Structure 1
Amino acid sequence: MKSIGHVGDTAIESIDAAGLAHFIRNNFVLGPVPTVPEILLHTAGPRSCMRRLAERYEHFRTPYWAYLWGGGLALARYLLDHPYVVEGRRVLDLGTGSGIVGIASAKVGASQIIASDVDPYAIVGSSVNAKANGAELLPLLGDLTAGPPPQVDVVLVGDLFYDAVLAARVTAFLDRCLGAGMAVLIGDPYRAHLPTTRLDAIANYPGPDFAGLASDAGRLNTVFQFRTETHAEDR
């Protein structure tokens, strides 16, 4: 396909999705994920020819979707270990990136998985990874944080708190999700803009963070339950 649908007024460029999918399958290494070996992902490496993608597409963004992130790893591990969280339920994987959280949801029996992202390349990459795992994701391109949440039961958020402005938008969106009766889980290695006063840690997993840096040795990636804000008069 030449273009991908989008949400609201989100502007997107036309991309050769079939050509990009072919490029990913032929240049990215497909293999089991550290700490989540049940899932296979195409990830970028030294020989992945990422520069060719940047040269081919004028508006190519930083390919966050092509690497492993600690929060996504933790959430995927948690779901595989606790399938009842999403089994038979409708799921939103917000900021899907590589698709790892949505794929984990599919593996444990979620009834529907919406995999959303603002990057059209992430939509293609996550679809390629889903196919490699025999998982079915419903791709949705656009910024969902600007409006009401879709009709789902569980919202899963991995690694969206690395920027202050983004974190504020995501937190406001998650408040609307709570207001609609949805459960919200977050995976994150305690980045600077994580709303820690709104979170209850429910699981910790050792593992790498972005791109698997050597300095990540001993790092813990955490799964949190997001809860309503507690005001002083309620304490």
Structure 2
Amino acid sequence: MKRLGTPRPDPAVFIRANLPISAVPSVPEIQLHTAGPASGLWRLAGRGETDPPPYWAYPWAGGAVLARHLFDRPEIVAGRRVLDLGAGSGLVAIAAAKAGAAKVTAVDIDANAIAAIALNAVINGVNIFAVAADIIEAPPPETDVLLVGDLFYDPALAVRVMALLRRCQANGIEVLIGDPERAYLPQGELSRIATHAVADFGAGRESKAVQAGIFSLSGNG
């Protein structure tokens, strides 16, 4: 258990030392710092009620399916401004950059995720503008494409995310969602574009491949 008063390490230093670099299953074009059983992630993630879970330390299926789709269909983002919402490790943002996006912004509420994104961007030879912020209640961002990977795991968050996505759609922003059909994905409000088999990660363990979907908002073409 974490001892009270133990200072947290510098995120970038900790990630370099404890999260080895490996290719992403289903998306071998990208390498990420990824947590394993011996990473001691709790030393960085914290245990307080306000500390966000370290979702950034693993490549989740929703991000993997979006990344896979962008490599298969680079014209979706080529030459366009792209924002990755809830970016985590930066997997989707990196895929967008590699697929030829003109500018890629990665947004996450966790400052540790921002540190990981910076390191992962360097590994993959791309430029990502990463910012720690909660923009879900904000006006639509200045972007052409909004990418959302695996943000429908919590009921309250799902409602907030969908409200933002609708505002973005009304503002002319193209919205793409990647999700393995988690419990709170509002499929009745979405149109399926594609399905890919990708590996999913949870609590540091790789599970069997899942069928994950790419979705747009209904009425978004």
Same fold (TM over 0.5): yes
Do the aligned partners of residues 84 and 54 (structure 1) sit closer, same or farther apart at CA in structure 2, a change above 3 Å counting? Answer: closer
Find 1:50's aligned residue among 41, 45, 55.
41
Gaps of 5+ in 2: 1-7
Going from structure 1 to structure 2, the CA distance change for 1:179 and 1:55 (only over 3 Å counts) comes to closer
User: Equivalences for 1:85-164 in 2 at 5 Å?
Assistant: 85-164=76-155
Q: Which residue of 2 aligns with 1:208?
A: 199
Cα displacement string for residues 28-50 of structure 1 (whole angstroms, at most 9, x for unaligned residues): 01011100000000000012121
- Extract structure 1 runs of 4+ deviating beyond 4 A: 54-60
Question: 1:20 pairs with 11, 36, 39, which one?
Answer: 11
Contact 1:80/1:108 (CA < 8 Å) preserved in 2?
yes
More helix by share: 1
- Contact 1:87–1:110 under 8 Å retained in 2: yes
Q: Is 55-64 or 39-48 further displaced after alignment?
A: 55-64
Tell me which amino acid in the other structure corresponds to 1:93.
D
Deviations 1:93-137 (A, max 9, x none): 000000000000000110111100111111111111111111111
> Does 218-227 or 107-116 show the bigger shift?
218-227
* Farther-moved stretch of structure 1 (193-202 vs 170-179): 193-202
Q: Distance in 2 between matches of 1:183 and 1:68?
A: 23
TM-score normalised by the chain length of structure 2: 0.89
Aligned pair count reads 212
2:101 is aligned with what amino acid? A
**What residue is the counterpart of 1:83 in the other structure?**
74
Query: Which letter maps to 1:112?
Result: K
Cα separation, 2, equivalents of 1:40 and 1:118: 22
Deviation at 1:186, TM superposition (A): 0.2
CA distance in 2, matches of 1:137, 1:125: 11
What's the counterpart of residue 183 of structure 1?
Answer: 174
8 Å contact from structure 1 (residues 178, 227) kept in 2: no
Q: Flag the 1:131–1:197 CA change in 2: closer, same or farther, 3 A.
A: same
1:94/1:127 Cα in 2 relative to 1: closer, same or farther (>3 Å)? same
Alpha-carbon deviation of 1:210?
2.8
Shift of 1:168: 0.4
| Distance of 1:144 and 1:56 partners within structure 2 | 24
Q: For the residues of structure 2 that align with 1:143 and 1:98, how far apart are their CA atoms?
A: 16
2:107 partner SS: strand
2:136 match: secondary structure: helix
State the TM-score, normalized to the length of structure 1. 0.84
Find the aligned partners of 1:25 and 1:158 in 2 and give their Cα distance: 24
- Structure with more strand by fraction: 2
1:60, 1:208 → 2: CA distance? 27
